[in-house]
Amino acid sequence: MQAATEAIDVLLIEDDADVGRTIRDGLAPCGFRVAQVRDLGSGRAMLERRQFPAIILDLSLPDGDGLNLAAHLRAGGDDTPILVLTARDSVPDRLRGFERGADDYLGKPFDVNELAARLRAMLRRADPRMRYRLTYADLELNLLTRTARRPNVEAALSDRETELLSFMLRHPEEVLARERLLDELWGDEVDESSNLVNVYINLLRNKIEGPSLVSLIHTVRGVGYMLSSREPHEFV
């Protein structure tokens, strides 16, 4: 077993299913994992639940102009890099987009390799400190200090605890099989029958959960674990 290179998560807000499929399939070999939503409301809801290193934003969406979301994020102090992907790419349109919070513009039709290159360039220009902070719901993990924080809780983590929580934070609301976690974090170091995942899950729970906090790490019986702010009965 060998651990895979971690993909970079990107949020795509685009209502066209074919365009979304092209972007997902084209960016996957370039090291990006694309989560797609198809309207502004779903985009706002997704961004409230989790943080993305970058956003690809269409402008003509069923419930409004994508630039309204860009302006809303900037007004709230969110500096996540935004690449606008649209057929409206005249100079006045691009200037308006930059004024309202876009970081880059790419007109349709587009080449997916150029899209990947522009995403990488945006990420290089972004605040490097953001690369070391992962968040979900009320949980924040600082990868530099190996510290997890929730309201009234601050916990120092071991290297392995940090690796496990980091992986779960990059895959929120996704059922993670024990075998996958063992493969990603321990590789060939241990046998597949090892209970190390269970041990470290319990260590994390003891450090970041408590009677006054919503449980975030859930056991999915017979499969593995999930990081989610939802109740277990909502998983099905």
**Residue 123 — pLDDT band, cuts 50, 70, 90?**
confident
Note the pLDDT tens digit of each residue in 148-172: 999 889 999 998 999 899 889 888 8
Tokens 């004024």 found at: 99
Which DSSP string do the residues of 115-157 spell out, in sequence order? HHHHHHHHHHHS-GGGGGEEEETTEEEETTTTEEEETTEEEE-
What is the Cα–Cα distance from 8 to 118, expressed in whole angstroms?
14
Q: Percent of the chain at pLDDT above 90? A: 44
- What is the DSSP-derived secondary structure letter of residue 50? B
Q: Model confidence over 186-203: pLDDT tens digits?
A: 887 777 778 999 999 999
In angstroms, the CA 169 to CA 229 distance is 12
Angle subtended by helix axes 17-27 and 112-125, to nearest 10: 70
Task: Beginning with the edge strand found earlier in the chain, give each strand of the sheet holding 104-107 in spatial order.
Answer: 32-37, 8-13, 54-57, 82-86, 104-107
Can you give the pLDDT at residue 133? Answer: 78
Q: Higher pLDDT residue, 49 or 129?
A: 49
CB 71 within 8 A of CB 101: yes
Give, for 164, the enclosing helix (H) or strand (E).
helix 159-169
User: How many Å apart are CA 153 and CA 17, to the nearest integer?
Assistant: 42
State the distance between the two ends of the chain, measured CA to CA, in whole angstroms: 30
**Model pTM?**
0.56
- Side-chain half-sphere exposure of 132, counting CA atoms within 13 A: 9
Phi, psi of 54 (to 5 degrees): -155, 155
The answer to whether the beta carbons of residues 70 and 102 sit under 8 Å apart is: yes
Per-residue pLDDT of 19-61, as tens digits, reads 999 999 999 888 888 999 999 999 998 888 888 889 999 998 9
Q: What are the chain's domains? A: 8-126 (3.40.50.2300), 131-234 (1.10.10.10)
Coil, helix or strand at residue 42: helix
